[in-house]
A and B are shown apart, each in its own frame.
Chain A
Amino acid sequence: RKEVEQDPGPFNVPEGATVAFNCTYSNSASQSFFWYRQDCRKEPKLLMSVYSSGNEDGRFTAQLNRASQYISLLIRDSKLSDSATYLCVVTPRGNQFYFGTGTSLTVIP
């Protein structure tokens, strides 16, 4: 079983829509969680960390559900510039980050 699994999508949503992605992880001892964004032919960039209590950054909300072993990313009021691949990252051990294969989002005018 993979350490991290994501629905690859694609998700095609209209501007202004709310969209949510989930990511499941297999190791219940995982310590830290992140969402990265990767634009086409670019390197991944850290979008936000995911805290146990949940956290929000503008239109983006990240949540962690330890009982069900998943993390989520909610994007409100989608913008065209949100179009990208969103990667979830989990650290089952302290020194290695496991990346999901990414969820593709296209925001349509």
Chain B
Amino acid sequence: GAGVSQSPSNKVTEKGKDVELRCDPISGHTALYWYRQSLGQGLEFLIYFQGNSAPDKSGLPSDRFSAERTGGSVSTLTIQRTQQEDSAVYLCASSLDRSPNYGYTFGSGTRLTVV
């Protein structure tokens, strides 16, 4: 696609429920990243996928968080048993390859609110 597409754009869920967030990267981009941004805060790295390599999960805050990327394209971030502190904007980004020289392109994010 023309850009990084994320869905849903907004999600309100009850505490304790599971949620799935979807990211469709730019076609041909092999690297895909998930970040989250809490209100007024910086971006917090969550997970990174590069091609067929094992993902870098070092940023996942707890075992309630998981992500997968099927077929090297679409990625799903799953949060189980959501807590109020999970409320944030979840941003996905993709880049052409693992070279850092290109920067990357963000989707417009999913705004998650846990009530």
Q: Are B45 and A98 neighbours in the complex by a CB distance under 8 Å?
A: yes
Flag the segment in A11-19, A54-62, A76-84, A88-96 that touches B. A88-96
Q: Do the beta carbons of A46 and B98 come within 8 Å of each other?
A: no
Residues of B within 8 A of A (CB): 31, 33, 35, 41-43, 45, 48, 50, 56, 91, 98-101, 103-109
**Residues on A facing B (Cβ under 8 Å):** 31-32, 34, 36, 42-46, 49, 87, 89, 91, 94-102
CB of B48 within 8 A of CB of A49, answer no
Docked pose: A43 CA to B45 CA in angstroms = 14
Would you give 20 A-B contacts (Cβ < 8 Å), ordered by A? A32-B100, A43-B107, A43-B108, A46-B104, A46-B105, A49-B101, A87-B43, A94-B99, A95-B48, A95-B98, A95-B100, A96-B45, A96-B48, A96-B56, A97-B33, A97-B45, A97-B104, A99-B43, A101-B41, A101-B42
Q: Which residues of A contact B35 (CB under 8 A)?
A: 99
Across the interface, name the chain B residue whose C-beta is closest to A45.
B106
Interface centre among A43, A44, A46, A95 (most CB of B within 10 A): A43
A43 in contact with B100 (CB, 8 Å): no
Q: Which chain B residues border A31 with CB–CB below 8 Å? A: 100
In the assembly, what is the distance between CA of A19 and CA of B99, in Å? 31
Complex: chain A residue closest to B95, CB-CB: A97
Report A-chain residues with C-beta under 8 Å of the C-beta of B109.
43
Report B57 CB to chain A, min CB distance, Å.
Answer: 12
Q: How far is the CA of A29 from the CA of B91 in the complex (A)?
A: 27
Does A97 contact B91, Cβ atoms closer than 8 Å? Answer: no
